[in-house]
Amino acid sequence: MRMKLAATAAMALAALPLSANADGEVNIYSYRQAYLLEPLLNAFTEETGIDTNVVFAKQGLAERLEREGRNSPADVVMTVDISRINELVEKDLVASVDTDTLHKNIPENLRHPEGKWYALTTRGRLIFASKERVKEGEITSYEQLADDKWEGRICTRSGKHPYNIALFSSMIAHHGEAETAKWLEGLKDNLARKPQGGDRDQIKAIAEGVCDLSIGNSYYYGNMLKDDKQRPIAEQVNLVFPNADGRGTHVNISGISLTKSAPNKDNAIKLMEFLSSPEAQRIYAEANTEYPANPDVKPSGLVAEWGDIHPDDLSLQEIANNREAAVKLVDRVDYDG
């Protein structure tokens, strides 16, 4: 009766117990991990009586949907990162949903103009600064990452990673391509080492004295603080909400889309509405130290302790539209080289 988890590896995806046209069910393809979804989906089933089936995968869900075509059992896709979400739109795999409830719960800049995706949570892409070697207030914006004073003092993951591409896309939206190219070159010149690892690894590098600043998503820091082993490392850094006093901090999203082929469309829309509701938003955001997308729900726990985030209200769609230009810039300045 509870959430049925189908598979975690691509190999196992072939033998799914999903059945199309089932009544009283909703089938979910998810890039989000099971532990995040379980409490939410249990609450949904309790409230509606609708069962949920989840296929979890780290990659390849868009390709799978494409392959399955009209016969796909998937009703909704749950994803992270705007470029991944946009891929579903560009491949024409998702359908428009426009309901009063969804419009009321999710602000305009956090949903597709035709309802082809809705954000469910947001995360800030922040600057982490060594408590020891960087004074508070010494850096306050993304733009300053290119200043000479940080030469050899910054660590980041690959410039090609979707999280960085989205940040660079937002820079293009604000400053244009030519200026962003100069900025990115400046940032590259300031790197302490070749881009590598994930966002957490950059915080570790600060703790080890390799660099003094890094860029990373807010929930990585939150989840490090929640982990007994990693807390002492995370405690070596201050978090900076870049551009908080200006245009706002760059945020990315996790979201949900209705598939074009959804066999259980009504149930799928009920799930989407439920996930945007204050009750579900609270559970979802807290599970991964993210921000609720529904502005009526205040962040809680650790996230609330960090203080208010002032998000850049640039439309996520515009960020997605600049993706290709951002990838080209990363190549041009040989960011990872």
Tell me how far apart the terminal alpha carbons of the chain are, to the nearest angstrom: 51
Whole-angstrom distance, CA of residue 82 vs CA of residue 169:
11
Q: Is 1 exposed, middle or buried (0-12, 13-18, 19+ CB in 10 A)?
A: exposed
Specify whether the CB–CB gap between 121 and 127 falls below 8 A.
Answer: no
Please tell me the distance from the alpha carbon of residue 187 to that of residue 84, in angstroms, as a whole number.
25
Separation of alpha carbons 234 and 290, rounded Å: 17
Rounded to whole angstroms, the Cα distance separating 329 from 195 reads 15
Rounded to an integer, what distance in angstroms lies between the CA atom of residue 4 and that of residue 109? 33
229 backbone dihedrals φ, ψ, rounded to 5° = -70, -35
35 labeled binding residue: no
Give the 3-state secondary structure of residue 232.
helix
- Computed on alpha carbons and rounded to an integer, the radius of gyration of the chain in Å comes to 20
- From the list 186, 171, 185, 169, the residue with the least C-alpha distance to 325 is 169
Nearest CA to 81 out of 126, 41, 31, 40 is that of: 31
Tell me how far apart the alpha carbons of residues 123 and 324 are, in angstroms, rounded to a whole number.
22
Q: Is 219 annotated as a binding residue?
A: yes
Binding residues: 219-220
Binding residues for Fe cation: 219-220
